[in-house]
Amino acid sequence: MLLPEHQYVKATSLEDCLGRLRDGQRDDKSDRETGIRPGIRVVAGGTDVIFNMRLKLFQPDIALSIRNLECLQQVEELPGGGLRIGAGCTLASLEKHPLITVRFPALAAAIQAVASTHVRNMATLGGNLCLDTRCWYTNNSEQWREGLAGCFKTDGQLCHVIKSSTMCHAINNADTPVALIMLGATLTLQSAGGSRTVPIAEFYRRDGLKHTVMKPDEILTHVEVPQVSARTTFIKIAPRIGMDFSLAAVAARAGGTGLQASDVAIVLGSLTTAPVFLHEPARTAEAGGLSDESIGRAVEQVRVELGELTNLYGRPGYKKHLANVLVRRALEDLREK
């Protein structure tokens, strides 16, 4: 599959990148309104963007590379034990970083779970956080898609997964957001007009088309992770480790030791259009601890809070079963830590 015709431009600085994004939005009003086919597409590692360009999912006039911006490739310690991680850091550089493996082992596990070593050598943390949503219809070749009517993500007003739906149900398959939401991380979004900080739990939308709150002229520059002293875990289920996107993933934390459980957080990923924070199961685990009985009650509440699931990349019943299994495994794993 050949890449569509485009210009490849290397940003000389963060300011240069943001200026080009600002000017590009001014020049292309239709792209700014839809957000589907921007005139400029930011590329870091390119492991997902370039592949999707080959599929003709978007055909930007300019691929703007930020790969060489050193200001986005630093890991800094924060007062209190937290970390500030540049969005341009490759996943390979982070998965064995001593400050991450020691302080945030669940995040390290989530990073190591992303694809293969070859992909992680290129892919960046920011790219994984901004990973486009995926769908069995959309993520196929242009020739294959021509056999069906368009959808919300292409050029139509239809969802092939749920015909009666008024929105896109493509799935968020990124691994690192699940762990970072559990850890309470915040993101820095920057444009030529300034920067803003967004809790990662508020970054994702339950809309497969416009799945983040990031504006077309913004880029994600840094991730801040606060120090967490609680026990944490990350578990992913995929058909083929290192090759396939996950069928489901979970990240969880709990304060205390043994059966004790305080400040519990449980986050599920790869099941819907956005990661899901399971509030009631977490409160149940806090109230009853991590005994088998309490974990059983928490698992029973997963289906209710998870809500309706689509048949995208798996039948709804199987996905709910995966969610139950992962939550049980995560809470039992925390009990053993």
Identify the pLDDT of residue 173.
96
Specify the DSSP class assigned to residue 52: H
CA distance linking residue 217 with residue 104, whole number of Å: 31
Q: How many CA atoms lie within 13 A of 105 on its CB side?
A: 11
CA distance linking residue 15 with residue 7, whole number of Å: 19
**pLDDT tens profile 118-129:** 999 999 999 999
Handedness of CA 61, 63, 69, 73 (dihedral sign): positive
Structural domains in the chain, sorted by start = 7-67 (no CATH), 231-336 (3.30.390.50)
Cα R_g (the chain), whole angstroms:
20
Task: For residue 27, give every residue at least 6 positions away whose Cβ sits within 8 Å of its Cβ, in sequence order, or none.
Answer: 39
Q: How far is CA 54 from the centre of its chain?
A: 22
**pLDDT tens profile 61-78:** 999 999 999 999 999 999
Yes or no: say if 25 and 32 are a contact pair by the CB < 8 Å rule: yes
Instruction: Classify 256 as helix, strand or coil.
Output: coil
Chain position carrying tokens 């998870």: 306
Going by pLDDT thresholds of 50, 70 and 90, the confidence category of residue 242 is confident
CA distance linking residue 146 with residue 256, whole number of Å: 55
278 phi/psi in degrees, rounded to 5: -90, 100
**pLDDT tens profile 220-229:** 999 999 999 9
Going by pLDDT thresholds of 50, 70 and 90, the confidence category of residue 148 is confident
CA dihedral angle for residue 266, residue 200, residue 185, residue 48, rounded to 10 degrees: 100
Going by pLDDT thresholds of 50, 70 and 90, the confidence category of residue 154 is confident
- pLDDT(27) > 70: no
